[in-house]
Every structure is written in C-alpha cells, then in structure tokens.
Structure 1
C-alpha cells in the first residue's frame, strides 16, 4: 500500500509541473513575446510539452542601429612592442590622462597591467619634473 501512494504522489507532481509549463506557454502567447521553443516529454504519458525561454538579445549590436558598438580592447603598447615607457615622452603619456589630468584606469585605456603600472610611474615622474601639470588650469 505504501508503494502505491508514493507512485501516485510522484505522478501527481509530474502532472502539476506539466500544467505549469503549459500555462506559461499560454501566457507568453497572449503577450506576443519573441521566444524560443523547446519540447520536453513527460515520463508518464510521453506527450511533448512546449516550454519557452526569452530570446537572447545582445547588449550592443554591430549593425550601426544601436548607440554603442562594443569592440575588444587591447594594450596598444604591447601591440607596438614598446617595453619601456619613458617619462620624457609627453605625447605618449598624455594619451593615458583624463581631461582633468588624472591617470586613466585600465578599463578605459585598455592597457595591460604591466604597462599601466609603467605609464603611471612615468606620469608621476613627469609631474615631478614639471613636464605635465598636476591640475588643469
């Protein structure tokens, strides 16, 4: 007797999950959302049940329709093969400063960790020698 109650309880749980999935499909059809459909079969009666998941939409598109186009950042100093960053090279160093003459972060410049440290030290040395001002006038 105990075995029959367990199996009937398992059958009722599978029935309730299939009805929940079917209800979610009907809700999505009413709202006219773009969804991808997947079919799953239940263990009990082997009938396919459609489930939906929201369609994937990229954050940035590459077709020019969006405002921003995302591109991969890379270290320009590594690409040029520059190993040593000289503090006297003001033209190179000024590319790694913000408009307020603060040192730009790696996320903004795309520099690797090694070159970001070397550029930061070169900027600090150039400020000491007065090649670059500390603050904007």
Structure 2
C-alpha cells in the first residue's frame, strides 16, 4: 500500500543469497541447461518507466477483507495448534524462510565461520541498518 512516502530516496539492498546459496545464479546462455541459469535476470527500469500507483476503493476493500481472513487464520492456528500445513508450505515452497526458522540450520558467514541462519541474517541486517542510523524517510 502506498503510504505517501516519497519515491525519491536511496536505499541499500540487504542481499542474503550469498549466505543461503553456495554458488550464484548466472545468465550465460551457453549454459542455459544449468540449474543455476537465470533466464529472467533483474533489469533496472529506465528512468520514468515506472508510475506511482494510487490505491483505489477496491484495493482498500481487498486489504480489509484479507486482513480479516489473516486474523481468522492466525486465531485458528493459535487455538488449535494446527500448523502442519503452514510448516509444509514453508519447507517445500519457501526454502529461504525455512532456513531462517530452522534453529539447527547453519550457514557460513563472510569469514566462513558456521552460524545459525537466523542469527547470521539478523546480524547482517543490523550491520546495514547501523550504516543508515539517523536517516529519515520523508513523507510527501
């Protein structure tokens, strides 16, 4: 949802793929058969190509309905302990998130030292945030 923040600001991407994957993806078409071949790499948008989106009345209705559905599912999970489906979905479809929540999952830090995945990723995020401490996002 657009909250009225200016879209003219610099940011730093927190890139965790270097911790989560041993080898990076590539775009070398000669090796398109390789599992690591990326046929849809990120391409920076041309200046002025992206337009600011303004929420419609329908967007606001969808947001409220989805909030209520989410609240209901959260209550259902909390009161029934029925989290088997959620865990299965995370494990099969959201591997990065599964790594994060698996307290036995170790990843190598920048120095090659094993560390619990969640701790490593949180510490990396903290380092980046500390570099930008005191900066503000201006709202229009």
TM-score (norm 2): 0.20
Query: Which protein shows a greater Rg?
Result: 1
- Which one has the bigger strand percentage? 1
TM-score using structure 1 length = 0.20
Higher relative contact order (CA 8 A, sep 6+): 2
